[in-house]
Amino acid sequence: MSETGTGDVAEAAVDAAAAAAAAASDNWRRAGFAGAAIGVVAAGAAAGVALERLIVGRGMRKKARLALDAAGPYGALRGTPGKAPADDGTALYYEVDEIDPEAAAPRRRRLFGRKTPAPVTVVFSHGYCLSQDSWHFQRAALRGLVRTVHWDQRSHGRSGRGASQAGSGGLPVTIDQLGRDLKAVIDAAAPEGPLVLVGHSMGGMTMMALAAHYPELVRERVVGAAFVGTSSGRLGEVSYGLPVAGVNVVRRVLSGVLRALGSQAELVERGRQATADLFAGLIKRYSFSSKDVDPAVARFAERMIESTPIDVVAEFYPAFAEHDKAEALSVFQGFPVLVLAGDKDLVTPSTHSEAIADTLRNAELVIVPDGGHLVMLEHPEAVTDRLADLLVRVGAVPAAATVGRYGSTAQPGS
């Protein structure tokens, strides 16, 4: 392309970005909200998708999304369903995948009269604005080899809306509440036997809250743990890849803006649809680092995040600034721990994983190159490989077991 042509495209891209940001801001203003603040955030995404908008029409982009939704099998795995009542009555949805006898280790001899010990259960906890389906690749790879529990955090996925948060006098969500929710799921889905806890982002924080409130449960039953792209605290210092001035503005206004948006959820959801391209750009920027992420995987992540109502987004956001569970990490000393993060995670930077590993002397620290926040979807082979190794070390999976294709994106759902 000539210098003149390149300059024209660049100028057109900037104009498109500005127009898109202005349109987004106008949509929010018409809904009666802090349009300027949303416009500032949207502008970053607009710059990232401007060139695509120049060459791909809105109708074509919509058709592409529909085609990906129809073709992508991600999130289609289902297990035996159950519901656990939280301490405030919220119905927490979970699914259990049992061991397939044909895939398990050879049968061992049993002494007469002795009860067969309960199998190890691996409990997967997902992150903010996601669902249990975010573990699709790991679930596909481990299915039948080990007993697993996948659950949806309150107000996410198929779980009920948080009962404590309902109504005008609703209580704010806390990470401590999520820890109690995890205890309720364990009581219902894995009441006995050894446990391996696996958590991504907010799910890892949920594990820390469980340890803070139920240290005896962790010491007596947990034999291994994996913290993926998470943090033990100090999230208020994260820059999210923005310049200092920009991140300070966002921090000052975002909680208030989200509260305002959450109070008018129906109007906001309509505005969200009108600015779908901008949200897709934001989701991609803060979920993935790789340039060549499978479009079906990127769309899968979009669908999970889009399905989280804006009032739920608003309810949960303040809890992260208050999260501080560094002291609770000591409960995880003494058994194998995996700490894993993407090296370009903008939401819970890898330095936060390094801090967890520094506290847990027994931890294996893995930093995945070119990995973003949704590293388990972006680099499923790397995550499943290290998780499978942890399960072998704790005796949950036989060393001779074949863990599929490690959830390879080449064979989705296999």
Q: Match 């009962």 to its residue by tokens.
A: 163
Q: Give me the average pLDDT of each 10-residue run along the chain (414 residues).
A: 42 42 44 39 44 51 58 85 98 97 57 68 98 97 96 98 89 96 98 98 98 98 98 91 71 62 58 62 90 89 90 90 96 97 97 97 95 97 96 89 56 38
The span from the CA of 25 to the CA of 4, in Å, is: 32
Give the long-range contacts of residues 12-17, CB within 8 A, separation 24 or more.
Answer: 12/54, 13/47, 13/50, 13/51, 13/54, 14/47, 14/50, 16/46, 16/50, 16/51, 16/53, 16/54, 17/43, 17/46, 17/47, 17/50
> What is the predicted pLDDT for the residue at 73?
76
Neighbours of 132 (CB within 10 A): 27
What residues does 207 pair with on adjacent strands? none
Percentages helix, strand, coil for the chain, rounded to the nearest 5?
50, 10, 35
pLDDT tens digits along 97-110:
999 887 655 444 44
Taking CA atoms, 48 is separated from 42, 357, 373, 400, in Å, by 10, 34, 18, 46
The span from the CA of 232 to the CA of 398, in Å, is: 32
Q: In what order do the strands lie in the sheet with 147-151?
A: 80-85, 91-97, 147-151, 121-125, 195-200, 222-228, 337-342, 363-368
* Closest to 151 (Cα-Cα) out of 206, 74, 229: 206
Q: Match 């259960």 to its residue by tokens.
A: 121
pLDDT tens digits along 145-181:
999 999 999 999 999 999 999 887 888 899 999 999 9
What pTM value is reported for the model?
0.80
The span from the CA of 189 to the CA of 181, in Å, is: 12
> What is the predicted pLDDT for the residue at 398?
84
> What is the predicted pLDDT for the residue at 412?
39
